[in-house]
Amino acid sequence: MKMSIIIPTYNRNDDLNECLKSIREKSRYDNEIIVLNPFCDESLKNICDEYSAKLVNDGSRKNGKRVKSLWAIINTGIELAENRYVCWLNDDCLVLKDWDFYALECFKKDKDIALVVLKTKGIGNRVEFEVMNLSFNIPCANYAVLDKLQEIRFDESYSWFQGDADISMRTVVKYHKKVFPTEEKCIIHNHKIDDNRQQNESDKRADLDREKYFKRWSIYKLSQGKIVKKSILVRSYLLMRKLLRLILKRD
């Protein structure tokens, strides 16, 4: 077994170089690597050539402005992937020894698994991004491996945030498949201190994405271990409350 690895990147060649090096050194299988970038400069080409990674212009920017969301970029990579199992990573990630083996073994254990979430650790071994959805107890697919044959894709309307939580929810609710986290830590997330992290997390787009996510899933609840729609009465109440807020806001 082997997988295709999707890595969107932009102006972070040093980080990408370390990421690709770790993949080639720590993986058990000879996985396909697809690097997605809007500007395929010579330096980036050399890095990708060194680690036998495919470099693809993702069309995410025009005239210097972003025209595709992160999730649309990853969807592009999924469609290009040659293997059934497709992983997405950030360019500032490092992988741990045999990470791909642990991830792919999960699919062997249960045919209903469509998404395997990769357990991670962060700077200074601080645990990060083992996010569990508090309402539904589903692991958030910050970094995950997807079964391409299930035809599950990201919602491209999210700009940068919440798309990973949304795909976890849709895998369970819409496609009736399992989201399963690895027991072993497979990824070191953000192996360097990122000066842009705080700025990114305070981005107004984060609030818009969060609002969209909660709006979509607010009509569901966890009941006896299953995710079900709330009763018609509860949904009607929520709708009326929303309409009232809109009316008061206009006034």
**3-195: CATH homologous superfamily?**
Spore Coat Polysaccharide Biosynthesis Protein SpsA; Chain A (3.90.550.10)
- pLDDT computed for residue 241 by the predictor: 75
pLDDT at 26: 97
Mean pLDDT of 149-175: 94
Instruction: Taking residues 176-186, report their average pLDDT.
Output: 93
Query: What's the whole-number average pLDDT of the chain?
Result: 88
Greater pLDDT, 61 or 194: 61
Average pLDDT over residues 180-208: 76
Among the listed residues 5, 151, 185, the one whose alpha carbon sits nearest the alpha carbon of residue 90 = 5
Max intra-chain CA distance, the chain: 62
Q: Which residues pair with 34 in a beta bridge?
A: 6, 54
Residue 122 has pLDDT above 90, yes or no: no
Neighbours of 190 (CB within 10 A): 19
SS3 state at 213: helix
Rounded Cα–Cα distance for residues 138 and 237 (Å): 26
**Contact 23/33 with Cβ under 8 angstroms?**
yes
**More confident position, 66 or 127:** 66
In DSSP terms, 178 is beta-bridged to: 113
- pLDDT tens-digit map of 3-54: 999 999 998 999 999 999 999 999 999 999 999 999 888 999 999 999 999 9
Question: How high is the pLDDT of residue 202?
Answer: 62
Confidence of residue 113 (pLDDT cuts 50, 70, 90): very high
Compute how many other C-beta atoms are within 10 angstroms of the C-beta atom of residue 34.
23
Question: Mean pLDDT throughout 108-114?
Answer: 94
Render pLDDT for 86-104 as a digit per residue (tens, 0 to 9): 999 999 999 999 999 999 9
Q: Which pLDDT does position 193 carry in this prediction? A: 61
Burial of 198 (0-12, 13-18, 19+ CB in 10 A): exposed
Return d(Cα 3, Cα 103) in angstroms, integer.
10
Question: pLDDT above 90 covers what percent of the chain?
Answer: 61
Which sequence spans correspond to the domains of the chain? 3-195
Q: Could you give the percent of the chain with pLDDT greater than 70? A: 88
Length of the chain measured in residues = 251
Q: What is the mean pLDDT of residues 123-149?
A: 77
> Structure tokens of 97?
């020894």
Nearest to 144 by CA among 173, 174, 170: 170
DSSP classification of residue 123: G
Distance CA(16)–CA(6), nearest Å, equals: 12
Work out whether strand 54-57 and strand 61-62 pair parallel, antiparallel, or are unpaired: unpaired
